[in-house]
Structure 1
Amino acid sequence: MSLSSLDTAALAHDLRLSVMRFSRRLRNQRVSTAVTLTHLAALSTLKRHGPMSPGELAGHERVQPPSMTRVVVALESLGLVTRTPHPTDGRQVVIELTPAADELLAAEARAREAWLTGHLEELSPEERAVLREAAVIMDKLASG
């Protein structure tokens, strides 16, 4: 392995750990402890893709349908989703966000943004410029 390959492997290792730590810290900036990260992921998927069946939601979240059924029951009991009959398949229901879910998702996003903004303000202008460039590079890596 060349020195360049070793440097690249070390960078991959360091970057992976840093991204994991950063992601964990960002996820922990929470508004509601009544809603789990699994619940938030399901709500976010519904926000992004619109109403869908529990099976479709399970597919998007890469979990088994019985697991998603439990998540949907919990979210419904919290008033965050509604279940309505499927328009063409009487055996199915359609899961949809409530206005309370929209408000919760917005509050969660604001909490994370506020935390991150506060920490970014502690950095020097040069450090923020480096991060601005790194964000572009990380988007490139994520789409590749």
Structure 2
Amino acid sequence: MAQETLQLLVAMHRIVRHLRRSRTTTALHPTQFLALMLVADEQPIRIGEIAARVPCSQPTATTTVAGLEDAGLVRREPDPVDGRATAVVLTEAGAETVEASGRQAAEELGKLLRRLDDADSELVLRAGVVLARIADDL
């Protein structure tokens, strides 16, 4: 099993690197991209939660959000649960970037999946559901 898990890890890294290189809709750093996608899914979200879920350090999350804020993709506002804290939400430009990036990444991954026969393509897509559950539990 160790060899198969290593093979899976290497394959996932290679695919993600390929998708990052093919992404032309944004010039975001990978951590910014992950944080932006997380904000889109979980908003409003505190920076500490972004750090825990990306995962990265709290200072890195703060710097990442500041860069996204400078780019006009997110904004900070009072946390609806605790007004003393701040939460991060998408701006309209952020929502457009998420939509465009998601569409482009799906198209690029779709091209890779079309290289497979139907059974293998379906297997990979089903595995994606399971991998998402693992990622959600991190």
TM range (shorter): 0.7 to 0.9
Cα shift at 1:40: 1.1
What is residue 4 of structure 1 aligned with on the other side?
Answer: none
The alpha-carbon distance between structure 1 residues 55 and 16, as it changes in their structure 2 partners (threshold 3 A), is closer
The answer to whether residue 122 in structure 2 is matched with residue 132 in structure 1 is yes
Which runs of 5 or more residues in structure 1 are unaligned? 1-7
Preserved CA contact (<8 Å) 2:75 2:91: yes
> TM-score, normalised to structure 1's length?
0.74
Other structure's SS at 2:45 match: coil
Kindly indicate whether the alpha-carbon contact (under 8 Å) linking 2:113 and 2:121 is maintained by their aligned counterparts in 1. Answer: no
- Give the structure 2 partner of residue 114 of structure 1: 107
1:36 to 22, 29, 50: 29
1:21 maps to 2:14: yes
Q: Equivalent residue for 2:70? A: 77
The alignment's C-alpha RMSD in Å is 2.5
Percent identity over the alignment is 27
Cα deviation for residue 102 of structure 1 reads 0.9
Structure 2 residue runs of 5 or longer lacking an equivalent are none
Deviation at residue 19 of structure 1 after TM alignment: 2.5
Describe the shift of the 1:131–1:81 C-alpha distance in structure 2 as closer, same or farther (beyond 3 A).
same
Aligned length: 132
Output aligned runs, 1:47-58, within 5 Å: 47-58=40-51
Q: Distance in 2 between matches of 1:36 and 1:79?
A: 15
Work out whether 1:94 is the aligned partner of 2:84: no
1:14-67 CA-to-partner distances (Å, cap 9, x unmatched) read: 33322221222123331111x211111111111111112222222222322222
- After the TM superposition, which of the residue ranges 64-73 and 52-61 deviates more from structure 2? 52-61
How does 1:49-68 map onto structure 2 within 5 Å?
A: 49-68=42-61
